Amino acid sequence: MRLNLILCASVLMLLASCSAPEKEPYAFQVSDLEPHIVKLASDEFEGRMPFSAGETKTINYLESEFKAYGLEPGNGNSYFQDVPLASITSLGAPTMTVSSADESISLEGLTDYVIWTQRTDSLVTFEDAEIVFAGFGIVAPEYGWNDYKNIDVMGKIVMVLVNDPGFGTEDASFFKGNTMTYYGRWTYKYEEAIRQGALGVLIVHNTIPAGYGFNVVQNRWNSEQLYLDDRNENNYKLAFEGWVTLPVANKLFEMAGLNEREMLAKARKADFQAIPMNLKASTSLTVKAKYDISKNVIAKVTGATRPNEYVIYTAHWDHLGIGAPDETGDSIYNGALDNASGTAALLALAEAFAKEEKPERTVVFLAVTAEEQGLWGSLYYALNPVYPKEQTVANINMDGINPSGKMRDVSVIGIGQSEMEDLLDVELAKQGRYASPDPTPTAGYYFRSDHFSFAKVGIPALYFGSGIDHVEKGKEYGKQLEDEYVQLYYHKPSDAYDPERWNLDGAVEDVQLLYNVGQNLSNSDLWPQWKEGSEFKAIRDGYMKK
């Protein structure tokens, strides 16, 4: 039976047995959100980059707000959890040389390709490294798929396609059709190449299946990147990770005597065999590494009757800091939507829970670091939890809160994954709204925010976006707004708070949803489950049965 039916039945039984009127839920206002967004997205916070003065200002602001609301420290006597990170700055040589038996070309760094490394040697170099075209770079036994069968890529560069073979097929049974699986995510492609012993990876960029333009990739050129500090572990790392533009990839196919269209068609079939391209590449990177501690910020409201059961709200506080200036000369990546808005929502929710009667379960408010660099803060928490995963009921994540006015829908990211969606459906119905699937399933948003770190350890997680069914102007207008955000604001200095452009009325409704779902869950004995077919169900089932 669906959780929403169970919840509705429980509510009806409660009303039948109690003559007192149902208490009105806490009502949010624009004023609960806007001041926090304005503050966190101001130039004063310098783009909230970990290890910067912006981090210090951000975490101190969060701590002071939690204290002012009367929330308890979430990590013993502290509001902070240390997250040990490695900061690695890779400075690529200006060019990469690629040669065949007949010709040699010089590719221009940043324009034609972008590479970086997780190795911490002061110099990473390779000479005449062989390039292999490895299709989508996927090993997926459940689909009978292995792009690395019958080939040894040890010490070689693999060139792979972005997304997965299901993209563009409209066949939901083939991988997941246009909905990206984790096999399509760029992080997976690097992880698999490591397992294969490759020297490095070049992912062929294509805007539509990637979900963003090459400009997003270019932000990584010669920039500081953060990773978890794993100096005590013996982990193999690629000499480089990177991307290459589609026109350059087509040139490399041409140099190898391969037909680009034929290669793309073959790569979509399970019998694909990786193809040595008889090309050799050379370049180098100089590396600067340092190690430091960033901070997750944690506060809680202890449950009145079941304090050892936990509902965790999350939002990432970080953004990209100060970087390359845009055409206006602005170099501060303020990250107003991404994710000052989600952090503001986290603070508003914390204040609401602190003001209301104590919930039965403990409610935790976790602002994580280094999401933009690879979900590192949430992953570190998931691997080093303050509250045991076996006692964590669910995660509710916020990454971008609707800035565009009221919507009839919310876009559930990863719809069909868990019963958390059924709890959301109940609250949506009260608002006269509905849940819709992610309008851009090709972008793989399920793997791009902090709920994914909780899902990977089996904790059911809820994450939804703004929706596109605009109350006044309809779906076409709502989709246009979403597309414009990706094109004009995502990971650019232009993602700044603009009261003339932003309308937070819809954000208020969405935060109300987030609050109501958390209130119901924290005052019930429900344990939401993963749905049949979810790749995370077996993880949760495994440790909950022990």
Q: What is the mean pLDDT of residues 308-319?
A: 98
pLDDT in tens, 506-527: 999 999 999 999 999 999 999 9
Backbone angles phi, psi at 255, to 5 degrees: -60, -30
pLDDT-derived band at 8 (thresholds 50, 70, 90) equals very low
Query: Is the pLDDT at 224 greater than 90, yes or no?
Result: no
% of the chain with per-residue pLDDT over 90 = 84
pLDDT in tens, 366-419: 999 999 989 999 999 999 999 999 999 999 999 999 999 999 999 999 888 999
What pLDDT is attached to residue 19? 37
Which three-class secondary structure state does DSSP give residue 408? coil
Residue type, 161: L
Six token digits for residue 36? 């926090």
Query: Is the pLDDT at 240 greater than 60, yes or no?
Result: yes
CA distance 392 to 314: 13
pLDDT-derived band at 9 (thresholds 50, 70, 90) equals very low
pLDDT in tens, 43-55: 999 999 999 999 9
> Judging by DSSP bridges, how do beta strands 434-437 and 409-412 pair with one another?
parallel
Q: Is residue 26 packed enough to be buried (19+ CB in 10 Å), middle (13-18) or exposed (0-12)? A: middle
Six token digits for residue 299? 């506060």
pLDDT in tens, 193-218: 999 999 999 999 999 999 889 998 99
CA distance 420 to 401: 19
Q: What is the mean pLDDT of residues 67-74?
A: 98
What pLDDT is attached to residue 22? 58
Q: What is the mean pLDDT of the chain?
A: 93
pLDDT in tens, 329-361: 999 999 999 999 999 999 999 999 999 999 999
pLDDT-derived band at 546 (thresholds 50, 70, 90) equals low
pLDDT-derived band at 5 (thresholds 50, 70, 90) equals very low
CA distance 314 to 158: 36
> Judging by DSSP bridges, how do beta strands 321-322 and 123-133 pair with one another?
unpaired
pLDDT-derived band at 535 (thresholds 50, 70, 90) equals confident
Q: How many residues does the chain have?
A: 546
What pLDDT is attached to residue 24? 73
pLDDT-derived band at 543 (thresholds 50, 70, 90) equals confident
CA distance 546 to 98: 54
Q: Is residue 271 packed enough to be buried (19+ CB in 10 Å), middle (13-18) or exposed (0-12)? A: exposed
pLDDT-derived band at 273 (thresholds 50, 70, 90) equals very high
